[in-house]
Amino acid sequence: MRKAPTILHLDMDAFYASAEQASKPSLRGKAVVVGGLGPRGVVATASYEARVFGVHSAMPMAQARRLAPNAAYLVPRFGFYKAISEQVMGLLRELSPLVEPLSLDEAFVDLEAGGAAWDDASARQVGARLRGDIRAVTGLTGSVGLAASKMLAKIASEQAKPDGLVVIEPGTERALLGPLSVRTLPGVGPATGDHLRRAGIHTVDEIVEAGEDELVRLLGKAHGHGLYAMALARDERAVVAEREAKSVSVEDTYDVDIHDRVRVGLEVQRLADRCVRRLRGAGVSGRTIVLKVRRYDFSTLTRSETLRGPTDDPAVVREAALRMLEGVDSTGGVRLLGVGVTGLADFTQEDLFAQAAGAAGAAGEGADHAVEQAADDVSAEERDVVVERRWVAGHDVRHAEYGHGWVQGSGLGRVTVRFETPDSEPGRVRTFLVDDPALESADPLPLVEVMGARPHHP
């Protein structure tokens, strides 16, 4: 008996960029690129309008600017995207207890496990209804693929893009896969794809023609057997409801290498605080603190320190990270810093602050003092840079007179703001001094004002 197409794969369309366009009326229908805006930044997401110019995710931002110089370039608002993602994942969990999120904008759902679908017709109906619910709740679009396995459902959602629904019916899988590139199959990245290409294997049909023994010879036993099975449309991977996080970490890549040792210490302290905020947001704590330092020559050093119990205390994480920094040679400059916590648990040990303080000794106290002293020694020029960086391109602000808006850009002591909301007409642009007391940071506005507006389904 053939399996019904009851594995659903949802992929939100150009998620970050689409969320920004929905939030900012002046950007709708225009090229939008979201990512790191510094010289070393990369593209996180490009709108479909930007993709016309060849811009795509993971591309260096400098290259994207050359291809689409007139696009809007924005820094990601991850808190905003996460809030939308939680709404979407909530809709998926109404369909089944087996929901496997892959990222903020992508997930698998086992519809049969929730009794939501059992054959082609019921699966197609659920997919169509889900797309409508997502639009009603978030104002955004998602593409849905339905098939009998995870691999085929993901391929179907790719074919459905943008804003579509594709069902791969039982019995059609081999004919569909045959002419596709080998890169379509899970586990075939650039290196494996090149290896197969050198062997004269370009399509899925050619994998089948080569035979299982040849695949094992080329790729090894495990990979060869697995890839041959997928080429025959065999994929037995189950939808896994929970993917437990093993670590929480943050890192920053700097536009200009940092040479000042005191500045490096300040950055580590700031990253430790950000890491703890993520820990607390996830409701977990951790035992092992990790410091990552990438130097000017791209060499990367990683140091770790394990505590006697889990913590989410920012002072403990800061002190541990600074102690490890003392043993790292940053001569020549630092281009990336990161702080992480592993060994996660859902509780904390209250006396860890005293433990960490006792373990720090004179070296730890010296590092802490250096950070405190540096706060008083920052030059006026550096303080100005900090103030200007407050106004991040694409992020939300509120003005006492003009209301809600978003930052179009800042520099030379000024910040440019466009005043508009998700349900307004494209707004006017005004420029202010960066320290204008009437201007302040603001939380993002919801894309859909009435969250319960979606239809009720019996």
The counts of H helices and E strands in the chain are 15, 17
Beta bridge mates, 310: none
Block residue for tokens 């003092």: 369
The two tokens of residue 218 are: 């080329």
Rg (CA), the chain: 25
How far is 161 from 163, CA to CA, in rounded Å? 6
Specify burial of residue 6 (Cβ count, 10 A radius: 0-12, 13-18, 19+): buried
Cα angle 451-452-456, degrees, rounded to a multiple of 5: 145
How far is 350 from 340, CA to CA, in rounded Å? 20
Helices within 161-260 (DSSP H only): 173-177, 190-198, 204-210, 212-219, 221-231
- φ, ψ (nearest 5 deg) of residue 310: -75, 150
* Residues contacting residue 64 through CB under 8 Å, at least 6 positions apart: 33, 35, 43, 46, 50, 55, 71, 73
CA-nearest of 129, 130, 139 to 80 is: 139
Block residue for tokens 């330092």: 293
- φ, ψ (nearest 5 deg) of residue 302: -125, 130
**DSSP single-letter state for residue 116:** S
Catalytic, 20? Answer no
Label the pairing between strands 300-311 and 285-295.
Answer: antiparallel
* Candidate list 20, 100, 106, 420, residue with the active-site label: 106
Phi-psi category of 54—alpha, beta or left, where left has phi over 0 and alpha has psi -120 to 50? left
The answer to whether the CB of 105 falls within 8 A of the CB of 15 is: yes
Q: Could you give the residue numbers annotated as active site?
A: 106
